[in-house]
Copies of this chain bind each other. A is one copy, B any other.
């Protein structure tokens, strides 16, 4: 936190919106409606939390047009309360700037170029010919391979690994445990054994991309794996070789994208989903969590494929029928046919 306060007036001058009530109210922090203290500003983005708005101890709130009258607290009325709140929160909780300098316990190759105002943490290793841009922060224990280029203002938290030759844009955030550019899973079968296909492509990551903890993005087999601008990846996602993810697509945790899949722009993919290799997903597609996508999707829209849960005993009975579905459908067809012609009766 910054420690200083901002009046509603100051906030609205920075981010727009309309003030109702005391515009001089001084905000010291952001909070949830539920746990707010009186010096806090909270927000309401969804009508189902209206009860929490009634009960909140927050000193001020951010609301949409339709909830303008739902409280008497000093408030900022705006079109998109959640995005507005994100901006206000960043005002009170700015990302710490890089602390320029190379820590004495870092190991930086003489041929690497590190911007003067970049921060290189202890036990970070920067290999031959790597290039670390202005204002970057490279966390403790990171490994930046030979020839890697990282644009300005990017932040790698502790213990990130970037293999040789990969390119990372500006304003990128990589969380701990991320591995960029490990070999893709390229194997040729040959008389009962598997021959490794050298993975000689790179990973190219655009600007303003954020990648969550322990997510892995494999290097391309021959051509590159590409993550376009503004993509946001959650934790523990696996991106196979030669995948391309279109700009401003978001993917929730634990999802796997197999090799050479092409995901469009502005897609939203839920957690623990799976995208098969070599398929194409159009722009603007939403895929539910736990959905396995085995064929290309050419039209925007929402797609789902998960199995619904139920008490275990009922599942036992119902799931057993899955193995007889084709037969069941045939039996229904037979019944339908039987109805349309004179039935054979056991006795007339």
Question: Could you write out 14 A-B pairs with CB less than 8 Å apart?
Answer: A80-B189, A82-B197, A85-B188, A182-B212, A187-B232, A258-B289, A272-B274, A272-B292, A274-B289, A288-B315, A294-B308, A314-B323, A328-B328, A335-B335
Which residues of chain B are within 8 angstroms of A107 by Cβ–Cβ distance?
103, 105, 122-123, 140
Task: Count identical subunits in the complex.
Answer: 3
| B342–A345 touching, CB < 8 Å | yes
Q: Interface size on A (CB < 8 Å)?
A: 132
Are the CB atoms of A321 and B317 closer together than 8 Å? no
Also in contact, A238 and B235, with CB within 8 A (given A185-B252, A308-B322, A335-B339): yes
Q: In angstroms, how far is the closest chain B Cβ from the Cβ of A207?
A: 12
Which positions 275-296 of chain A face chain B at CB distance < 8 Å?
A: 276, 286-294
> Which one of A6-14, A27-35, A67-75 contacts B?
A27-35
Residues A198 and B143 in contact, CB atoms below 8 Å apart: no
Say whether A234 faces chain B, with CB atoms less than 8 Å apart.
yes
CB contacts (< 8 Å) of A213 on chain B: these are 161, 179, 182, 216, 218
The answer on a CB contact under 8 Å between B303 and A309 is: yes
In contact, A312 and B304 (Cβ under 8 angstroms): yes
Does A131 count as interface, using CB distance less than 8 angstroms?
A: no
Task: Given contacts A80-B189, A318-B326, A328-B329, list 7 more A-B pairs with CB under 8 A.
Answer: A83-B189, A90-B196, A140-B143, A182-B213, A185-B235, A194-B248, A258-B271
A133 contacts B by Cβ under 8 Å = no
The verdict on A141 contacting chain B, using a C-beta distance below 8 Å, is yes
Complex CA–CA separation, A331 to B216 (angstroms): 47
Choose one: B163, B193, B316; the contact of A157 (CB below 8 Å). Answer: B163
